[in-house]
Structure 1
Amino acid sequence: MHGRLPTTPAALAAALAGGFDYDDGNGVDFEPFPEFLSAGETAGWFRSWTGNQEVDGACFRVFGQDGTGGYAAFWLVREGRGLVEQPVVFLGSEGETGVIARDLADFLWLLAGGVGPWEAAAGYGSEEGELRPDPAREAVAERFASGRRRGPAGVVADAGAEFPGFDEELMGLTR
C-alpha cells in the first residue's frame, strides 16, 4: 500500500467537488487537492512537520489542507484494508492533531454536517446546534454511505475512541 499513490476514490472526489466556502470564518476552512500529494511531497512535509529526518510519512495519503497549511489525510493504519476503510486524520500547521473519522464513509457524513477537517480537530461542531449542514455533500454521503448517517460530534468522538493513541504516537516521532 506504500507504493504507487492511489487515485482519489470516487466518493471522496464527489464530496470535495466544488470546493468549500470559508464564509469569513463561518464556513469550512478546507482546500482539497486535485490528487494525493506525492510520496516525495509527503516525506518533505512530514520531516519538516516532525523535525525528524528519519521519518517519511508513508502511512499518510494527504488530500487537502486548511488555510494555515494543516493537512487532512488518510492514515494507513488498518493492515490489509483498502484506502476507504482507513481513518481520516488532521495534522495542523501548529502541531494540532486528531483522528477525525473512522473511515471515508464517516468523513462524508462529517462534511455533510458542515464540518471540515480543521473544524473537527479543533472541536467545532461538537454542539450540533451550531452546525451548518451542506445539502450537496449530504446527497453525496447518501449516495456513497447510505445507512451510515451520523452527526459530526458522533463521527469525531467515535474516531477518537477507536484511535486514542494517535496524538502520542505522532509526538513520539517529533524531534
Structure 2
Amino acid sequence: MTEDRRFPPALAAVAECAFDYDDGIDFEPYAEFSSAEETTSWIRAWTGNQELDGAEFRVFGQDGTGGLAMFWTVREGAPLTDQPVVFFGSEGAVGVVARDLSAFLWLLADGVGPMEAVEHTDLDGEPSEELREIAEKFAADHRQSGADVVAEARAEFPDFESTVTAWCR
C-alpha cells in the first residue's frame, strides 16, 4: 500500500476539464484528494463498518449522485499512478474501473466515466477531444478503448466486489 497523497498532474489536468452530463460522462473531478478524515468517515458510512479507516483509498472525484471515484492502493510498493481506479456508487454499486491511471485517462477519453464503467453494460461513450489530448500527453503508449480498459481491470481484480461486500456490516 502506498502512503502517497500527492495529486498526480494527469488528474489535475482532468480536473480542469468541463464535464457535461449531456455528453455521457457523469463525473465531477476534484482538484485534490479528499482528506484522510473525510475518507475514513465516508468508508465507515458506506460499509457500516466502524473498524475501517479507508487508508487504502484516495478519493479524486464523484458523480452527480455522490458516488465516488478513487485509487485503491492495493499494489504493495507501487506508485499511486499504478494503482487501480475503483468506484463506489451512492446506491451500493461498486467495481473496478481501470487497472491504473493511464487506463483511466483512456476510459475518459473514450467517453466513459467511472460510474458508467460500473453501472452500465453499454460502454459506447461520446469520445472527448479534450480528454483524448490529456490521455495522449500523459499515457500515449497505453491507448485502448473504454471497453478494453474495463475488461482488463475486471480480469485483474475479479474479487473486488466481494472484498468490499465482506467489509459491510
Place the TM-score, normalised by the shorter chain, in its bin: over 0.9
Q: Counterpart of 2:78 in structure 1: which amino acid? A: R
Summarize the alignment of residues 89-108 of structure 1 with structure 2, pairs less than 5 Å apart. 89-108=86-105
- Of 139, 148, 153 in structure 1, the residue corresponding to residue 147 of structure 2 is 153
TM-score normalised per structure 2: 0.95
**SS state of the match for residue 71, structure 2?**
strand
Counterpart in the other structure of 1:135: 129
- Pairwise CA RMSD: 1.4
The question of 1:11 aligning with 2:10 is answered yes
* Aligned-partner Cα distance in 2 for 1:54–1:19: 37
Taking the aligned partners of 2:108 and 2:121, their CA distance within structure 1 comes to 12
Q: Answer whether contact 2:17 2:130 (CA < 8 A) is retained.
A: no
Greater than 2 Å deviation, 4+ residue runs: 123-126
**Contact 2:24 2:125 (C-alpha < 8 Å) held by counterparts:** no
Consecutive unaligned residues of structure 2, counting only runs of 5 or more, are none
State the alpha-carbon separation in 2 of the partners of residues 125 and 86 from structure 1.
Answer: 25
C-alpha displacement at 1:7, in angstroms? 2.1
2:45 is the counterpart of 1:28 = no
| Counterpart contact for 1:89–1:99, Cα < 8 Å | yes
- Identity across aligned pairs (percent)? 56
What CA deviation, in whole Å up to 9, does each residue of 1:108-132 have, x standing for no partner? 0000001111011112543xxx421
Question: Does structure 1 retain, via aligned residues, the 8 Å contact 2:15–2:31?
Answer: no
TM-score after normalising by structure 1: 0.92
Which is further off, 8-17 or 60-69?
Answer: 8-17
Identify the match of residue 169 of structure 1 among 155, 163, 168: 163
Mapping 1:100-119, distance limit 5 Å:
100-119=97-116
1:49 aligns with 2:46: yes
Q: Give the aligned partner of residue 62 of structure 1.
A: 59
Matching residue's letter, 1:14: A
